[in-house]
Amino acid sequence: MDKTSEEASSKGKKRQRDQQPTDPQTNQPHHQIFSLEDNLSFTDTLVALRMMRAQFPRIDKVSIQPFILRSQLYSSVKDRTQVDRELESLRREKVVRIFKLNTGQDDHAIMFLDDYLNQMENVVKRLEEKEGDQVFKWFRTHVIDSKLEPSIEHQELYTLLSLGGMVKDGHISLLINAGLLLIDPNMYWFAIPNIGSVLKGLSQGRKEVLSFLNRRRYKEMMLASMEKKCLRFSPLDMRFHLRDLIGSGHLKTVQTSTGLLVRVSKD
Amino acid sequence: MWKEIGDRERGILRPKSFTTRIKSNRIRTLQISNHKDIVSPHRASINSLQVDLTEGRYLLSGAADASAAVYDVQRATDYEGGGLIAKHKCLFVVDKQHEHGHKYAISSAIWYPVDTGLFITGSHDHHINVWDTNTTQVVMNFKMPGKVYRTAMSSLATTHMLIAAGTEDVQVRLCDIASGAFSHTLSGHRDGVMTVEWSTSSEWVLVTGGCDGAIRFWDIRRAGCFLVLDQSHSQLGRRPTIPEHSATNKALTSKSLSSGQNLNAKPRAQQRKLANGNGTKQSPVGRMPAKGSLRQRLHPGMLSSLDRATAHYGAVTGLKATEDGMYLLSAGSDSRLRLWDVESGCNTLVNFETVRLQAGKPIQLATSQDSALVFVPCMTAVKAFDVWSGNTSQTFRGHYEYVNSCWFSSQEQELYTGGNDKQILVWSPPRMKDLLRIGITGVIDICS
């Protein structure tokens, strides 16, 4: 019953669908103009992302590609709405991918698509499963390419993977074991593989910075001296944490005559 | 201000723009009122505030000690400080001692939209009472299956007088005052419903926000909801941009309501700069065959219960529609405030800088009349945000504890806020007398 109604509605659209193959041809020059390599206009957000990616701290124990937290972008670019919108258009153009993290409320990690694919490659190489190989390929070509949101429903994952071949339940557990998907009742969240220890360091580092400032008499410190401090519990450097906390509103910066001052915000 | 009056006199400024200019100037100078004080008889936190919609004169407040009180905000009951401070005591209070009063906290108190003869209170004792204001008697009583979180009546309704009630039960019930019975039960939410609001553009459309994080739009003339807001469907701007190849692309992309298959309104305009045509759309190929078997068993109106899209990562704690009915503001317990375009069902991605919002209790948001500012209770302060850019315009700090509700009276350009510290605070623009006195003598002399 549903199929016939769908056919009925598509009949009205048939004419447009015939026209559609011709459209991409006229669109070709447009695509080339707007591809990232040729695009000479950089948005503030893209510049900030590239800068922070270059400044990502080197972690010795884990090999992880650079990622940026959303709150760090908010601390660098003044207008938050503009950041959100530019990030959204970058995501739609498949330049970056956004992942929801489970550290705290509404934390998102942004990773350039190339970095994410490299990270996936490294993880898959290490696993070396025989039948598993195909699942990762299907995942990469069908799911990552078409599903740009941070989460996916079970049915949809199943159907997208089936575009590659016969999917068994064991395949999906392979993906979960590799750390590419996180299970939630009825849906899956995309995740960055091998990131667990870094996330633990992230939340511990946040707590350490906040408790350090809270212990001080006036709950503030000069930014210059803060940046030189080393963190005991986090592999990520102080600058990473400061940007994150300032962007999420836990800390605020005040301009003084001797430089920037970092203060715990009370609200 | 004198220049504006002169321009108006000479006819350079039109009457409407004159009034909006004066009003917005006054709103920008809101501060805690130094000439008006509301004496609240409540002995527990204030959960709900509303000024009546007909005259804008009577303020109704509902508190957690099961008391509801009405104040006249235009005429003071007495004056203090040599006639400088107007004290507004309550005209009457109904509380636990009343024979038909509520037993537990009142979570929502609203006026009957047509006149001030009736008011409706919803309480945690599972009852909704309809009171007659003049005799302070309960004329009607509805028993709900769970604690009532919010009640709402449509201010546009001419053909119905339904009270929409959001309770801790998953179903939203509509109670009819005319017949005294329940007229509708709306199912679709997966958890309790914390906020209900009627649409400001249609008397048949109800918006509900649930503890499961979903915001659903219901047309009460049909079964099921017709729109579920999804935070991942977004548009870059106030209205979706018109695509370049508009005619052909629109027909291809507007598959949102075709034969009730998928009930998400999809964003229509991402065609312009994308490298490929279908950048963000979930491929309908993937969805259909998997759900075909399930679909045959459900009534088409109930398909929306399969939709698990969420508008917030936590519960939806506050909803407010703009006056023109085109945009909807929602606050969630994930401490995010989102602005939705009702027409396309998309998130407009305006970022409101809220660090923390109160979770666990429904909060009441208020918008200024031209919808340029939204007043949001953020913990112990009330912040005014610019709706279109998300910047914080003003912060009102005065309450000692969390603020639960605020109401903006556009007639007087005054903001009333009530919180857990049992106080109702009035925020008003400074009076002309004070401005002149400060200007001339240079000394602030409020209480002589």
Q: What percent of chain A has pLDDT over 90?
A: 36
**DSSP H helices in B403-444:** 432-441
Q: Which of A34, A74, A149 sits opposite B232 (nearest CB)?
A: A149
Cβ distance A155 to B290 less than 8 Å, yes or no, reads yes
Closest CA to B326 of B317, B339, B310, B311: B339
Pairing outcome for strands B316-321 and B327-332: antiparallel
CA of A148 to nearest chain B CA: how many angstroms apart? 7
Best mutation target, A1, A2, A30, A71, to test chain B (most B CBs within 10 A): A2
Contacting residues of A for B283, CB less than 8 Å apart: 146, 160
A-B contacts (CB, under 8 Å): 111
One-letter amino acid identity for B68? Answer: A
Contacting residues of B for A92, CB less than 8 Å apart: 270, 274, 279-280
SS3 at position B19 = helix
What value does the mean pLDDT take over residues A200-211? 92
The sign of the dihedral angle between the CA atoms of B69, B75, B78, B81 is positive
Segments of chain B scoring below 50 in pLDDT:
249-293, 295, 442-448
Cβ distance A92 to B274 less than 8 Å, yes or no, reads yes
User: Which pLDDT belongs to residue B243?
Assistant: 74
Q: Is B279 on the interface with A (CB under 8 A)?
A: yes
Per-residue CA distances from B269 to A137, A190, B235 (Å):
31, 26, 8
Q: Which of A24, A85, A158 sits opposite B349 (nearest CB)?
A: A85
Integer Cα distance of B167 and B151 in angstroms: 9
Q: Which of A13, A17, A81 sits opposite B349 (nearest CB)?
A: A81
**Digit-coded pLDDT (tens) for B384-398:** 999 998 999 999 999
**Digit-coded pLDDT (tens) for A127-185:** 766 656 778 888 888 888 888 888 888 888 888 888 888 888 888 888 888 888 888 88
User: Which pLDDT belongs to residue B107?
Assistant: 95
User: Which pLDDT belongs to residue A245?
Assistant: 92
Q: How confident is the model at residue A207 (pLDDT cuts 50, 70, 90)?
A: very high
Integer Cα distance of B321 and B447 in angstroms: 40
Mean pLDDT for all residues in chain B: 84
Cβ distance A81 to B283 less than 8 Å, yes or no, reads no
- CA-nearest residue of chain A to B335? A105
Closest CA to B145 of B102, B192, B208: B192
User: Which pLDDT belongs to residue B238?
Assistant: 81
Report the predicted TM-score, pTM, of the whole model to 2 decimal places.
Answer: 0.82
User: Which pLDDT belongs to residue B83?
Assistant: 83
DSSP B299: -
Cβ distance A93 to B356 less than 8 Å, yes or no, reads no
Closest CA to B136 of B92, B104, B96: B92
Cβ distance A267 to B291 less than 8 Å, yes or no, reads no
Q: How confident is the model at residue A24 (pLDDT cuts 50, 70, 90)?
A: very low
With beta carbons less than 8 A apart as the criterion, state whether B242 and B253 touch. no
CA of A119 to nearest chain B CA: how many angstroms apart? 23
SS3 at position B172 = strand
- CA-nearest residue of chain A to B380? A267
User: Which pLDDT belongs to residue A184?
Assistant: 82
Q: Two tokens at A31?
A: 């695509």
pLDDT at A28 over 70: no
Cβ distance B277 to A24 less than 8 Å, yes or no, reads yes
**Digit-coded pLDDT (tens) for A66-108:** 999 999 999 999 889 999 999 999 999 999 999 999 887 778 9
Element (H, E) at A9: helix A2-19
Higher-confidence residue: A41 or B108? B108
Q: Which of A16, A79, A151 sits opposite B251 (nearest CB)?
A: A16
Cβ distance B390 to A80 less than 8 Å, yes or no, reads yes
Best mutation target, B191, B228, B252, to test chain A (most A CBs within 10 A): B252
Residues with Cβ < 8 Å from B382, sequence gap 6 or more? B375, B376, B395, B396, B399, B403, B406, B415, B417, B427
Higher-confidence residue: A109 or B435? A109
Name the B residues in 374-413 with CB < 8 Å from any A CB.
Answer: 378-379, 381, 389-390
Pairing outcome for strands B58-63 and B46-51: antiparallel
Cβ distance A88 to B350 less than 8 Å, yes or no, reads no
Q: How many C-beta neighbours within 10 Å does residue A10 have?
A: 12
Cβ distance A156 to B282 less than 8 Å, yes or no, reads yes
User: Which pLDDT belongs to residue B197?
Assistant: 95
Integer Cα distance of B48 and A161 in angstroms: 50
